[in-house]
Amino acid sequence: MTELWAMPAWKIHELYEKGKTSVEEVCRTLYRRIEEVEPSVKAYIKLLPEPDGKGADGRVTGSPLGGIPYALKDNICTAGIETTCGSRILSGFVPPYDATVAAALKKAGAMLLGKTNMDEFAMGSSCETSAFYPTRNPWDLRCVPGGSSGGSAAAVAGGEAVFALGSDTGGSVRQPASFCGVVGMKPTYGRVSRYGLVAFASSLDQIGPLTRDVRDCARVLGVIAGHDPRDSTSAVAEVPDYERGLLEGRKDDLRGMRIGVPKEYFAQGIQAGVKHAVMEAIKTIQELGAFVEECSLPHTEYAMAAYYLIAPAEASSNLARYDGVKYGYRSEHWSDLTGLYTKTRMEGFGPEVKRRIMLGTYALSAGYYDAFYLKAQKVRTLIRYDFAKAFERFDLLVAPTSPTVAFRIGERMDDPLTMYLSDVCTIPINLAGLPAISVPCGFSEGLPVGLQIIGKPFDEPGVLRVAYAYEQATEWHLRIPHLDGVEAAKRIARNDGQVSADE
């Protein structure tokens, strides 16, 4: 029988309803699992005390997530619980309010386990820029879990949370989902409230779920989606019952679906094993009855350059509020106000955050605004037009989530450009504000590969339908990493933080 810590939320909820387990038992099982593997994975920045599960079974009634233990990325505000964004500059910051998504999950009866590790201020693709420590991939402790939501993805993959939330600015939910062999979805921009999400790039950020399977993804999205008047970018749009849509449809029949395969996503740089796994997944989708044809998104090659002007520009504006005056870290070495600002930011921000602030400030500076930032916004419009043109012919698009599988810890830290290319397949979707999901579709070099399914604005039901049909026709989502946390932690300690190649 599958261990409780390895079960999706919908299956645990069925056990609750049948009286075959209790919230107390599930919580106890999750905390035992965390105690076993967390010393080696390091998915969490902060763990909450184990709740007294007695009497907590009342949470289950009438809620699809009642009594389900979950984790939150540490850039999502939680009332009374420190929120650091993986940065030293926010040490000691305790929000006085819950983010809208945190409040929604609390209302639904879900049980928060803790806050997960992340790249500092969500700026990174490997979870190595955290001010605390890198998180490790449960499939291979020598490798990164992806980023910036690496802690959330690793927690779900390693059995340390039933589901988790992350944020996706340029691929930060989907890429770690791919690296860790779990499901990760970026909803349409505006579908999920950003109120209480600490801003990185406000026109790109979106909160999304990381789950064991597609049904759980639909269930969690149904709870957190919806209009929020506190978020000026929140869409006034009806939220369908995503999970019911999956269960009432024919999961083995995609006849009538027209799916495009953008050739630009299979260009030079994609690993052979990744390409093979994704092409095999596309064959499976064809066998389910979908019409599949190659298409083109010609401005894709400019997406990376546009993103690394727009996102840093917005970050340089958003991060100006961290000055050592109102909250968080304050330098002890200053003599005047300018010195306070300078020293606090110098000591509080890490190298990657400083790099992006400088890039963004330069792009917005007098004499360069039109040449860089404005031109990048024009390119963004062309990318959106490419997708709109493709969706005149196709219902959905499919592509790799990442051009590679998870890479070794430390391998790309001295090469920012190579690190940035980890998100080359996900960035265009953020620029266009579209929904997309990553589902496990195979393995290469013993590590998971993700298939990315991209939809029209607010067509989360269509994206989930194809993802669910593919998932039910395969067994990749049922694979669980073999992780002896105690022994792995000992090996890491013996090897000064690294796991040797023969282990």
The number of beta carbons lying within 10 Å of the beta carbon of residue 26 is 23
Closest among 382, 362, 381, 358 to 373, alpha carbons compared: 362
Q: Which of 130, 148, 402, 422 is flagged as catalytic?
A: 148
Closest among 139, 122, 134 to 201, alpha carbons compared: 122
Q: Which of 40, 42, 73, 186 is flagged as catalytic?
A: 73
* The pairing of beta strand 396-400 with beta strand 258-262: parallel
Is there a contact between 195 and 97 (Cβ–Cβ < 8 Å)? no
- At position 35, the amino acid (one-letter code) is E
List, in order, residues 6 or more apart from 371 with CB less than 8 Å away: none
Distance from C-alpha of 110 to C-alpha of 246, rounded to nearest angstrom: 22
Distance from C-alpha of 215 to C-alpha of 410, rounded to nearest angstrom: 35
Closest among 426, 430, 420 to 402, alpha carbons compared: 426
Distance from C-alpha of 178 to C-alpha of 216, rounded to nearest angstrom: 16
Distance from C-alpha of 43 to C-alpha of 159, rounded to nearest angstrom: 11
Distance from C-alpha of 15 to C-alpha of 149, rounded to nearest angstrom: 29
Is there a contact between 67 and 60 (Cβ–Cβ < 8 Å)? yes
Distance from C-alpha of 493 to C-alpha of 428, rounded to nearest angstrom: 40
Kindly write down the DSSP assignment for every residue of 309-359, as one continuous string.
HHHHHHHHHHGGG-SSSSSS---S--SSHHHHHHHHHHHHS-HHHHHHHHH
Is there a contact between 427 and 168 (Cβ–Cβ < 8 Å)? no
> Residue 225 has which token pair?
């989606």
The number of beta carbons lying within 10 Å of the beta carbon of residue 29 is 19
115 is catalytic: no
Q: Which of 125, 126, 130, 172 is flagged as catalytic?
A: 172
List, in order, residues 6 or more apart from 332 with CB less than 8 Å away: none
Find the DSSP H helices in 421-484: 427-432, 460-473
73 is catalytic: yes
* Residue 96 burial by Cβ neighbours in a 10 Å radius (0-12, 13-18, 19+): exposed
Between CA 265 and CA 270, with CA 267 as vertex, the angle to 5 degrees is: 85
Closest among 444, 452, 447, 442 to 475, alpha carbons compared: 442
172 is catalytic: yes
List, in order, residues 6 or more apart from 346 with CB less than 8 Å away: 331
By annotation, the residues acting in catalysis are 73, 148, 172
